[in-house]
Amino acid sequence: MVMILICFIAPWLAMFLQGKVIQGILCILLHVTLIGWIPATIWALIVTRENRAA
What is the average pLDDT score of the chain? 87
- DSSP designation for 36: T
Which pLDDT band holds residue 31 (cuts at 50, 70, 90)?
confident
CA atoms within 13 A on the CB side of 20: 18
Alpha-carbon span 54 to 46, nearest angstrom: 12
Predicted confidence (pLDDT) per residue in 34-48, tens digit:
788 888 889 899 988
Distance from chain centroid for Cα 22 = 12
pTM recorded for the entire structure: 0.81
